[in-house]
Copies of this chain bind each other. A is one copy, B any other.
Amino acid sequence: MDPRISREDGDGVSLRHGLLGLLAEGPASGYDLARRFEDHLGPVWPAQHPKIYAELSRLADAGMIEVDSHGPRGRKAYRITDAGRAEIRRWLTEEEVDHTLRTESVLRSFFFWLMETDDLQAHLRREQEFFSQVADMARGYAAAKDRGDFGTAPQTRSMRVAVEAAVRIYQALADWAEWAQTVPPAVPAAEDDTHPPAAANEV
């Protein structure tokens, strides 16, 4: 027995809801879902295939999804059920959002004072470049979407919104890394000059 799929009340198991959300777009196999997690949700919610297959089994047991078809090489596509659709809608509207961010980049910045000035500057340049590149990639994606390359289905609209988040967050981080390079290293300076214009994340 033991029918609890989500223990007690609501919890933060987002992988489950990520899968449900993707399956709400249409039937897909575990392999498909792993790829889409990797490609689309990867940066915001990493998940590897063992986890996905396991979760699919549990979702099937709970009646949230069911096998839609069997394909070529053992391929097993799942389809979302009404219960599943209800569950993800419930999650989206009723469940509280977990706002923790968990960025190692920022964690490290607390300890920059332990680094040699040269190492730090090099690190910040690398970080800036990385974030800029990701931001640019996201911008490219956004532009393609706006050109209509992906059609006008409601899902792609949401994807556009998500991509916009990526653009803004990574640009903000790139700007931050750039700004950090201008912060003078620890020198007991005269009247201190750290006053930044308090962030203008103008896009």
A→B interface (CB under 8 Å)? 12, 14, 17-18, 21, 24-27, 40-41, 43-46, 79, 85, 88-89, 92-93, 97-116, 119, 123, 127, 130, 134, 139, 142-143, 145-146, 148, 151-155, 157-162, 164-169, 171-173, 175-176, 179-180, 183, 186, 188-189, 191-199, 201-202
What is the CA–CA distance of A155 and B112 in the complex, to the nearest angstrom?
A: 8
Contact sample, A vs B, 24 pairs, CB 8 Å cutoff: A12-B104, A21-B114, A24-B114, A41-B110, A43-B101, A44-B102, A44-B107, A45-B104, A46-B100, A85-B201, A89-B115, A92-B108, A92-B114, A92-B115, A98-B104, A99-B130, A99-B134, A145-B194, A152-B188, A153-B193, A153-B196, A165-B176, A169-B172, A175-B201
Select the residue from A18, A41, A113 with max chain B CB neighbours within 10 A. A113
What B residues does A18 contact at CB under 8 A?
Answer: 107, 110
Q: Do residues B172 and A171 form an inter-chain contact, with CB atoms below 8 A?
A: yes
**Least distance between A189 CB and chain B CB atoms (Å):** 5
- Chain B residues, Cβ within 8 Å of A152: 188-189, 191-193
A173: chain B residues at CB < 8 Å are 165, 168-169
Most buried by B among A18, A161, A180, A197: A161
Smallest CB gap from A18: residue in B: B107
Closest to A127 in B: B97
